Amino acid sequence: MTKLFQIVVALLLIIAGILIYFAETSQKRNINGRLASSLYPTTRENPGGNHAWGGPIYNLGGGGPDVADAIQWMINQVRTNGPDKINVVVIRAAGDDSYNSLIYRMRGVNSVETLLVRNQQDANRSEIVNKVRNAGVIFFAGGDQCQYIRNWKNTKLKAAVESVYLQGGGIGGTSAGAMIQSEYIYNACSSPNHLESRDALADPYREITFTYNFFAWKHLQGTIIDTHFQQRDRMGRLMAFIARQIQDGVARSVLGIAVSEETSIVIDRNGLAKVMGNGPVYFVLGDHPPEVCRSRTPLTFSGYKIWKVRRGDTFNLRDRPKTGYYLRSVDKGRIDSHPY
């Protein structure tokens, strides 16, 4: 009986050791002690080392349910001149690792990991920076663009993302994660991100602030991105954002890129943008000074050029079209006609 008891104990110890081993190797925790990646392998390097991948390319999502085909497109484009499989890193300041299961099932994925980067200290940690540098695709989840900018600007994390871009990697994001990719960023630091169009048109200066010199991506220079667009009626506020850049002397002309929910715009290395998903993307151009754009005064700006690009259609950001747009104007804070 004693011998049998000893055998049973020994077997239980062996089984416990095996379970602990697999738990430790399959659940890698991030710097905050929360699961950064679950059941999906992580590696120190991309297979084959550094490559001139197929990008740089971009995927800008409008929020709401993600367009999986757009994420897959991004992975495929990066792999064109690179390894068969690449590492994908999702970056966010809060939330969970729900992207991992979606992305790991996609073709060409070697590993996927979600990193929670809550502050500048986190954004300068070598553990975080090295994982980003070894990725072929970076995807910024939705959240709060003000928090992202405050946490990540002028950090080693930001430099690591730029190194992926310079190697021809893919840069993606949705909602706030897409808005931080443009040259001019509505940062929502002085006002809530649900700023209404009517309020922005009534006073384009009241609690509306911008961030510059965050990322400098080719084909997104001279742009400002807005998301959740049609669903939250954001045409008016985008018009105010554009007018502000021109009035403040930041730029002579500004192109707004406005992405609806359940929609993505993917941009290849040549600047050709294609709409994927369920909704349209609007390109809104202001190419002259506003008639009236000052504090505590309703906006007046005539002749915005607007291109409505539907699913499957394209817009050339490198050689912008000269036709195909319709015109809308703002007079004393009111848009002259239905803008969509």
Global pTM? Answer: 0.85
Q: How many domains does the structure of the chain reveal?
A: 2
Cα–Cα distance between 60 and 217 in angstroms, integer?
13
Residue 9 lies in a domain: no
Q: Is the distance from CB of 131 to CB of 113 less than 8 angstroms?
A: yes
Q: Are residues 288 and 152 in the same domain?
A: no
Peptide bond into 204 cis (omega under 30): no
Q: Are residues 237 and 168 in the same domain?
A: no
Q: Are residues 57 and 160 in the same domain?
A: yes
Model confidence pLDDT, tens digit, residues 55-96 = 999 999 999 999 999 999 999 999 987 678 999 999 999 999
Q: State which residues form the domain around 152.
A: 46-181
Q: Are residues 156 and 241 in the same domain?
A: no
- pLDDT for 265 beyond 60: yes
Residue 38 lies in a domain: no
Residue 150 lies in a domain: yes
Q: Are residues 319 and 235 in the same domain?
A: yes
Residue 51 lies in a domain: yes
- The pair of structure tokens assigned to 45 is 């390097």
Q: Are residues 92 and 177 in the same domain?
A: yes
Confidence of residue 43 (pLDDT cuts 50, 70, 90): very low
Cα–Cα distance between 28 and 23 in angstroms, integer?
9
- pLDDT for 34 beyond 70: no
Model confidence pLDDT, tens digit, residues 126-146 = 999 999 999 999 999 999 999
Q: Which H/E stretch holds residue 254? A: strand 254-259
Residue 36 lies in a domain: no
DSSP 305: E
Residue 21 lies in a domain: no
Q: Are residues 205 and 116 in the same domain?
A: no
Alpha carbon of 112 to those of 85, 121, 138, 166, 178: distances in Å? 11, 23, 10, 20, 19
The CATH number of whichever domain residue 160 belongs to comes to: 3.40.50.880
- pLDDT for 3 beyond 70: no
Mean pLDDT over 277-305 rounds to 98
Model confidence pLDDT, tens digit, residues 96-119 = 999 999 999 999 999 999 999 999
- pLDDT for 255 beyond 50: yes
Q: Are residues 167 and 124 in the same domain?
A: yes
Q: Are residues 251 and 292 in the same domain?
A: yes
Q: Quick count: other Cβ atoms within 10 Å of Cβ 326?
A: 11
Residue 27 lies in a domain: no
Residue with tokens 């990540």: 152
Mean pLDDT over 235-245 rounds to 98
Q: Are residues 110 and 233 in the same domain?
A: no
Residue 1 lies in a domain: no
DSSP 20: H
- In this structure, are strands 281-286 and 301-309 parallel, antiparallel, or unpaired? antiparallel
Q: What pLDDT does residue 194 have?
A: 82
- The pair of structure tokens assigned to 168 is 């021809």
Q: Are residues 245 and 137 in the same domain?
A: no
Q: Determine the straight-line distance between the first and last CA of the chain, rounded to whole angstroms.
A: 82
Amino acid at 87: N
Confidence of residue 191 (pLDDT cuts 50, 70, 90): confident
Q: Is the distance from CB of 317 to CB of 309 less than 8 angstroms?
A: no
Residue 212 main-chain phi, psi, to 5 deg: -125, 165
Cα–Cα distance between 242 and 255 in angstroms, integer?
7
Three-class SS of 209-234? CEECCCCCCCCCCCEEEECCCCCCCC
